[in-house]
Amino acid sequence: MKALSHLTPASRPRLGRPATQPRPPRTLRCAYRPDPAYFPYGIGNRGDWQSSCAILSSKTLSVEHLAAVNGHKSAVDLNLVPFESKEKPLPAPVESESSASAVAVQPPPKPLTIMDLSPAPMHGSQLRVAYQGVPGAYSEAAAGKAYPNCEAIPCDQFDVVFQAVEQWIADRAVLPIENSLGGSIHRNYDLLLRHRLHIVGEVQTPVHHCLMALPGTCPDSLTRVISHPQALSQCEHTLTKLAPQAVREAVDDTAGAAEHIATNKLRDTAAIASSRAAELYGLEVLADGIQDDSGNVTRFVMLAREPIIPRTDRPFKTSIVFAHEGLGTGVLFKVLSAFAFRDINLTKIESRPHRLRPIRVVEQAEEEGTFKHFEYLFYVDFEASLAEPRAQNALSEVQEFTSFLRVLGSYPMDMTPWIRPKSDDQKV
C-alpha cells in the first residue's frame, strides 16, 4: 500500500465507490458565529449541537448577509439540502402539449438527511481511516485500536491526512497530538485550526521502541541510526550505550525508516520503530524496549467531517481554541477562571503564535517609546461535556474576554486502564 502523496482531483483514488457513482453531496458543516453562547435548555439532538457550534464563534466575522441556521444567524452559507415534507409532497411536474411525447421527468434524488450524515458508531467496521506514515507506524496501530477492522489508509504528510477526510477518500483520521515524553506535536495543532474537521474521540497508545537492522547486523558495526526525531530523543541514553559510534539521523516516521533500510539493503544503518515494522520489512530486532522511560504514551485524536452529539452518561472531554482580547490586565487569568469557578478540570493548555496577528505594538510616551506583545492562540482541553450547563456557561463567560473562540470537539475520553511497565532498574 503506497502513501497518498498528492490528492489532486484527477489522480486521487476513489475508494469504496464505483466509477459510475456520483460524488457524495457536501455534508452539513457547522458555522461559527458571534452570538452569545448560552443554552438554557441544553443540547438534546444533532440540530441543537450544530447550533451550539454555530454560536461559539469568532467575533470578528462579518454580520452582514446572515443566513438562519436552526434559529441562529450565520454568516456562512451552509448549502443545506432542501427537505421534502411527508405531509406535503412536492407536486408532480406538469407536461405541456409540446412535451407530451417527451420522456417523463424523473423525480429529484432523495436529499440527504441528518441520519445519512451521522458518524458511524464507535468501533465500527468498514471505515476508511487515514493516518500519517507507512504500514507499521504507531499511528496505524492507533487507528486499529480506535476503529478495529478498519481499512487503514497511509498518508505521507499530516496535512494530506486532513485532505483525505475532507475529500471523502477517508471517513476518519487518527493523528498524534501529544506524547508523554516529547510533548505536543505543534504541527497538528496548527492544522486543527486551519481545517474544519471535528475531534470525535481520543485514544492513548503505549510506545514500545525497538532497534532493528538487516539480519546478521552487529550493533558495533552500525554507523547510523535513523528514525523520527521524537523517537531518537526518547531513546537517546539507551542508544549511547548500545551504539555510541552511530550518528543519529531524523526521518519523517519510524516505520518509514525501517522500510528505507529494507529497500536499500543498508548494512551499516539501524532504525528505531515498532516490532510490527520489523516483521513487515524483514528486519532483525537488535534490542527491544530501548525507550529511556517506560512511561512512554502517545495521545491520538480521531477526526471526522461531522461532530458527535455530546452526552453526559460517560466522561467527556472538550477541546477549544481561543485568542484573548489583549486589552486590560489579567485577561488570560479571567478566561481560565471561568473553568475554575465551575470546578471544571483543565487537562491541557497549549499556546501557538497568532499567525494573522503575531505582534501587537503598544504606543507609549515619547520618552518611553513603544513596546511589543507577542500574540498567541490558546488550545485548551477540559473534562466536561458540552451537554452540561456548567460547560456551556463557562464558554459563554470565556467569550466575553476573547476575540476568537472555536470548539474543536466534545468527545468521549479514553478510559482504557493502563499499568506502567517496570523500568529496567525495577526488573528482577
* Cβ-count burial 187-201 (b if 16+ within 10 Å, e if not): ebbbbbeebebbbbb
Q: Report, as residue numbers or ranges, the catalytic residues.
A: 298, 300
pLDDT digits 0-9 by tens, 35-75: 333 343 444 455 554 545 444 433 333 333 333 333 334 33
Helix (H, G, I), strand (E, B) or coil at 122: coil
What is the distance, to the nearest Å, from the Cα of residue 170 to the centroid of all Cα atoms in its chain? 13
Do the Cβ atoms of 270 and 289 come closer than 8 Å?
Answer: no
Helix (H, G, I), strand (E, B) or coil at 334: helix
Average pLDDT over residues 115-131: 60
Q: State the CB neighbour count (10 A cutoff) for residue 275.
A: 16
Residue 354: pLDDT over 60 = yes
Q: Angle at the Cα of 24 (from 22 to 26), degrees rounded to 5?
A: 135
Residue 95: pLDDT over 70 = no
Which pLDDT does position 168 carry in this prediction?
93
Average pLDDT over residues 340-349: 95
Instruction: Name the residue with higher pLDDT: 324 or 159.
Output: 159
Q: Look at phi and psi of residue 126 and say left if phi exceeds 0, alpha if psi is from -120 to 50, else beta.
A: left
Q: How confident is the model at residue 422 (pLDDT cuts 50, 70, 90)?
A: low
pTM of the full predicted structure?
0.67
Handedness of CA 93, 98, 100, 101 (dihedral sign): negative
Q: How confident is the model at residue 406 (pLDDT cuts 50, 70, 90)?
A: very high
pLDDT digits 0-9 by tens, 145-199: 999 989 999 998 899 999 999 999 999 999 999 988 888 998 999 999 999 999 9
Do the Cβ atoms of 216 and 241 come closer than 8 Å?
Answer: no
Instruction: Name the residue with higher pLDDT: 89 or 204.
Output: 204
Do the Cβ atoms of 157 and 212 come closer than 8 Å?
Answer: no
Which pLDDT does position 265 carry in this prediction?
94
Report in angstroms the alpha-carbon separations of 81 from 27, 88, 197.
Answer: 9, 17, 20
In which residue are the cell numbers 517496570 written? 422
